[in-house]
Structure 1
Amino acid sequence: MARRLSPVGLEFVQSAPIRLVFAREVAAPPSAVFHALAEDVEGWPAWFRAVTLARPTDGGAGREIKLIGGTRFQETILAADPDEVYAYRVDETNAPGVRNLVEEWRLTPAGGGTRVQWTFAADGGAPFRLALKVARPGLGMSFRGAVAKLDQRLTAAAA
């Protein structure tokens, strides 16, 4: 059953009780990475293995996401700056124990490519916090694999 989460703003990325931050450099330029993140939402399953469905909602102001295993999210876009950041808040989910969740993708030019930093900012009950602590290595591996696959896809498209 889906539950509504407490609405938070972009500042939650810095103030969240749980902040998981992962980064990786890619060869693709920031504009291409931003396009894949923010403008080609339906393309996410092609490069992010955990995502089985991604589609924009509300004329692009939101997203619907489904993950392997059946977790679902209804999200609101909080920031979409092609030169810097793409961020969204989860408004509704069937994931247990979570109270707030914001994800931020920060893009920085680096060595002819892009440094991609993903921050997973969340809050929830004690079982949720413990689950995230245990899941941290897997989330990091998932991020690194997804960004590597995205980079391959983007550099192949540019060739």
Structure 2
Amino acid sequence: MTRRLRPVGLDFIETAPLRLVFARKVTAPPEAVFRALAEDVAGWPEWFSAVTLARSTEDGAGRQIRLKGGTRFQETVIAAQPAEVYAYRVDETNAPGVRALVEEWRLTRDGTGTRVQWTWAADGTAAFRFAVKLGRPGLGRAFRDAVTKLERRLSSTHA
């Protein structure tokens, strides 16, 4: 069953009851990473293995995402600053227990590469918060694997 979540803004990244932050450096420049995140939404399943379908909606103002296991998200893009930040809010999902969810990808030039920081900010039931805390290592692994695959993908397209 799909449920509507609480609409929150970018400030939720700082105030969410549950925040997970992961970071990694890649050799690609911020502009290339941003294009992969924000402009090539359909390419996400090629580098983020948990994602089975990613589709841009509403002329880029929204996203439709499906994950392995059947979780679905309807999202609204709340920040898209080229080479700096890409963030989206989940508006509808079939995931149990979640009340609000924002993901932010912050890009910082680091020498010739980019520091990619992914913040996963959420609110939900006690059971949801407990499950997310238990799943933190898995989310961290998923992020590291995704960014590693993205880096390989970007280096092969610019080679």
Distance, in Å, in 2 between the alignment partners of 1:15 and 1:106 is: 17
Displaced runs of 4+ in structure 1, greater than 2 A?
none
**In the aligned structure 1, how far is the partner of 2:83 from the partner of 2:91?**
25
The DSSP-based 3-state class of the residue aligned with 2:142 is: helix
Q: Is the aligned partner of 1:94 residue 2:119?
A: no
What is residue 81 of structure 2 aligned with on the other side? Answer: 81
Shift of 1:59: 1.2
The residue aligned with 2:128 is 128
Other-structure match for 1:111: 111
Q: How many residues align?
A: 159
Amino acid in structure 2 at the alignment position of 1:3: R
- TM-score, scaled to structure 1: 0.99
Distance 2:83 2:45 in 1: 24
> Does 2:6 match 1:2?
no
User: What's the counterpart of residue 149 of structure 1?
Assistant: 149
Runs (5+) with no aligned partner, structure 1? none
User: Offset at 1:111?
Assistant: 2.1
SS in 2 for 1:42: helix
| Structure 1 CA distance for aligned equivalents of residues 60 and 22 of structure 2 | 26
Q: C-alpha offsets along residues 8-46 of structure 1, whole Å, 9 cap, x if unaligned?
A: 000000000000000000000000000000000000000
1:143 maps to a residue whose letter is F
Structure 1 residues 40-96: Cα deviation after superposition (integer angstroms, max 9, x where no partner): 000000000000000001111000000000000000000000131000000000000
Uncovered stretches (5+) of structure 2, i.e. residues with no partner: none
Equivalent residue number for residue 71 of structure 2: 71
Q: Secondary structure at the match of 1:7?
A: coil
Percent sequence identity is 72
Q: Distance in 1 between matches of 2:139 and 2:49?
A: 12
Secondary structure of 2:13's aligned partner? helix
2:52 corresponds to 1:52? yes
How large is the Cα RMSD of the aligned pairs?
0.4
Query: What's the secondary structure of 1:52's corresponding residue?
Result: strand
